[in-house]
Amino acid sequence: MTSDPIIKPDGTRARANMPDYAKAYAAFSWADAERDIDGFGDGSLNIAHEAVDRHVAAGHGAQVAIRWIAKAGDSRDITYSELQDLTNRFANVLRNQGLEKGDRVYSLLGRLPDLYIAALGTLKAGCVFCPLFSAFGPEPIQSRMEIGQANAIITSSRLYRRKLKGIRGNLPDLRTVFLIDGDEDATIDLNAAMNAANDTFTTERMQPEETALLHFTSGTTGKPKGVVHVHQAVVAHHATGRLALDLRPGDTYWCTADPGWVTGTSYGIIAPLTNRVTMIIDEAEFDVDRWYATLAREAVTVWYTAPTAIRMLMKAGASAAKPHDLTALRFMASVGEPLNPEAVIWSNNTFTMPFHDNWWQTETGGIMIANYAAMDVRPGSMGKPLPGIEAGIVAVEGGTLRELTAPMAIGELALRPGWPSMMRGYLHEQARYEKCFRDGWYLSGDLAMRDADGYFWFVGRGDDLIKSAGHLIGPFEVESALLEHEAVAEAGVIGVPDETAGEIVKAFVALKPGFEASESLLLELTGHARKRLGPAVAPKEIVFRQNLPKTRSGKIMRRLLKARELGLPEGDISTLESDER
């Protein structure tokens, strides 16, 4: 928080979609934002129409909508016009298999063109689209398909054999399995079905409150939650893409998130297409040189990625970026977990522009708090609320809610409901849903503070907060300080019970290559953290690990570290991507 702000040059401000944040915030209304969406003129709309068909109707059919880069490096372009044909075909394929409006269509696929075509074609048909992350094992797949009562799924024969075939008998609602590459018993060959299908389709006219998307998010306990989003959400997807990501027609945009997660759908499919950009989709996983080469070769203008990737790029050093011409870049953003100040400053030094951190959740459907192209960046801050979003810091004690207005007061980050992409429910879990609201606020479960100038600062997840000797300690703050040390690659901080202090701060640290765990390094880190944080906040215990448990989006799973530390059940670990070693 002590880092100097990054001041935006006048030229950068003037070029931004939103040149003056305060003015835009004051003038904004969702009713105005709705005018940027075409709809069908009778109050009905469809996300897929806004993403694809309207651009073709407006004469932009020849523009490349998707440039897909295969693992091997070859690429395939799909224009808006082709995307219209393909999504029409997919909608007809669904109809031909008896899938009707309201049916649930799932995907279990890597980042292949079929996934994007299926998502949009499903929406055209008025079905509900639910993407599953292809690295899920059978158990999380089954629980998510059960809760959502999946009627159809599109997947590959390999994934089908490995993960789906064995559980299919447990899924009574599942009628149709589409395979993108070949056939198995009781499946449909998607290629053949697509070729046989008509390329015209009358997109379903959906009421604004009809369900479009289902995203699953893990709970701290119990089953995953099926988060329901409606077609009206597209108003927020579009507006936030324009304001928070600075997207504009003709941009070349790369969102590195997988559509198995909400970022990869809201900002990896919908918002970019409604804003008529050319999307880069890379089938491959993170690789420093491949990423820099892709940014340069494709002349990417807007790049949306995640802190883990950014820190890996940092680890590789600025020299890795040097050989590549990145001058096309105009805006870079980060989401998934808070971006530590060092990474923001490093990016500003390396790319001559910072990564702009933003904050939102599966439940909010779209970006809620962000750093903007035309707004000075305070490294480590998540920025300010989007126009149309009212955010506050609240304390809920004994059933009453109190808004905390003093600068830097720590409380729960809360939002006034009413924006279009707000979740409309947790599927079949009304009580769990209602628990998210109190006294006219949506409670995010995240702890944050707001400074005197209105910038929000992430403190930690509510249940991750450590209370030690009367001090409220945010694990993120401690992790950030540890990450400032040259030897530290990853840090996860939890509170462990202590007789005297309630909890003490314990840090799990993974080292960068070239550094060895040793007693002297332990002392060095202890001293480093104490110097940064003071004795009340610095970890009392530091242990070394080769790797920390992380989710797909790169969040260190503190909950899991804590469960293991305390010998408690590990709970739902379906989002665990990379385990502790």
Partner 1 sequence: MTHEEAEAAIAEELHAIAPEIALEDIDRSGVLREEFDIDSMDFLRLVTALGERFELAMPEADYPQMGSFDALVGYLKQKTA
Binding site for partner 1 (CB under 8 A): 468-469, 498, 500-501, 504, 523-524, 526-528, 530-531, 534-536, 540
Q: How far is 358 from 371, CA to CA, in rounded Å?
A: 6
Closest contact distance (angstroms) between CB of 330 and partner 1 is 42
Residue 7's Cβ-count burial label (10 Å; 0-12, 13-18, 19+) is exposed
Q: How far is 541 from 315, CA to CA, in rounded Å?
A: 25
| For partner 1, the closer CB: 312 or 501 | 501
Closest contact distance (angstroms) between CB of 277 and partner 1 is 49
Closest contact distance (angstroms) between CB of 511 and partner 1 is 17
**Nearest Cα to 385, choosing from 460, 301, 338, 453?**
453
Q: How far is 347 from 184, CA to CA, in rounded Å?
A: 48
Closest contact distance (angstroms) between CB of 523 and partner 1 is 4
| For partner 1, the closer CB: 313 or 529 | 529
**Nearest Cα to 511, choosing from 481, 545, 477?**
545
| For partner 1, the closer CB: 268 or 539 | 539
| For partner 1, the closer CB: 317 or 527 | 527
440: left (phi over 0), alpha (psi -120 to 50) or beta: left
Closest contact distance (angstroms) between CB of 522 and partner 1 is 9
Q: How far is 580 from 578, CA to CA, in rounded Å?
A: 7
**The residue type at 238:** H
Residue 322 dihedral angles phi and psi, to the nearest 5°: -50, -50
Q: How far is 317 from 320, CA to CA, in rounded Å?
A: 6
Look up residue 268 and give its two tokens.
Answer: 């990896």
Closest contact distance (angstroms) between CB of 468 and partner 1 is 7
| For partner 1, the closer CB: 146 or 524 | 524
Closest contact distance (angstroms) between CB of 408 and partner 1 is 21
| For partner 1, the closer CB: 189 or 524 | 524
**Nearest Cα to 289, choosing from 316, 256, 311?**
316
Q: How far is 351 from 356, CA to CA, in rounded Å?
A: 12
Query: Residue 213: how many CB atoms within 10 A of its CB?
Result: 26
Q: Where are the beta strands (DSSP E) in 387-537?
A: 391-397, 400-403, 411-415, 425-426, 437-438, 441-450, 456-461, 466-468, 471-473, 488-498, 502-511
Q: How far is 16 from 47, CA to CA, in rounded Å?
A: 25
| For partner 1, the closer CB: 189 or 498 | 498
| For partner 1, the closer CB: 231 or 528 | 528
Closest contact distance (angstroms) between CB of 478 and partner 1 is 15
Closest contact distance (angstroms) between CB of 385 and partner 1 is 36
| For partner 1, the closer CB: 83 or 542 | 542
| For partner 1, the closer CB: 423 or 491 | 491
Residue 20's Cβ-count burial label (10 Å; 0-12, 13-18, 19+) is middle
Closest contact distance (angstroms) between CB of 559 and partner 1 is 24
